[in-house]
Amino acid sequence: MSESPHDGPASEAHAREEETLEQAGLSADELKARRKALAHVRQWGDPVLRSETRPVEIFDEELRAEATRMIELMDEALGIGLAAPQVGKSVSLLVYRVGDARPIVLANPEIEYSSDDAETAQEGCLSLANVQVDVDRPVHVRVVGKDVTGETIKIEASGLEARVIQHEMDHLDGVLIIDRASKDQRREALRALREAESRSGYAA
């Protein structure tokens, strides 16, 4: 999941998004690092984003290295969450970091409880360049899963943290924010995605 750098319509060009980030005080180096990181993030149209993931079964060095790489990519891309399918791995693994907190790695997450209390907020996604849509989600969730060592962890989250967890868990089921948007916003988002696709000439 990406933070909303602006409140503009979904059809804004990628360059425009960067302009906004520049105005927000990002250096040329940070923008360059972001572009480089995004090149490693699977984009809309890639079938891996639509596939169901399999659970993590082996908690070894390889998994820890993968999680570390995902955290680096997330940070460099200025995202606040990243799921394994976004880096081409069809496994149930996600990372996130909200604010200044330490990053969290979560494997095989399951929602144990979600509140009836829900809230609508704008979301972006590192796999859907230039798309911002309103998504309605429960405000509070309790999630159980495994940490990177295979230990069971339980997370109680509210607000933005609950939102990012649910966004990344959607990725593990092949669900994207456009699936949760209103009909009008989805139509607008798909138009922006197709425009970006035709400009680049392929579905990156």
Our finding on whether 125 is near Zn ion (CB under 5 A) is yes
Stretch that binds Zn ion, among 107-115, 121-129, 137-145, 179-187 (CB under 5 A): 121-129
Nearer to Zn ion, 59 or 69 (CB): 69
C-beta separation of 184 from 18 below 8 A: no
Percent of residues in the chain assigned helix, strand, coil, to nearest 5: 40, 25, 35
Stretch that binds Zn ion, among 1-9, 132-140, 153-161, 179-187 (CB under 5 A): 1-9
Annotated catalytic residue within 17, 66, 168, 188: 168
Question: Which residue sits closest to Zn ion, CB atoms considered?
Answer: 125
Nearer to Zn ion, 60 or 136 (CB): 136
> Helices in the chain by DSSP H: which ranges?
14-23, 28-38, 61-76, 159-172, 177-180, 183-200
Q: How many residues does the chain have?
A: 204
Nearer to Zn ion, 1 or 10 (CB): 1
The rounded distance, in Å, linking the Cα atoms of 56 and 100 is 27
Catalytic site positions: 168
Query: Contact residues for Zn ion (CB under 5 A)?
Result: 1, 125
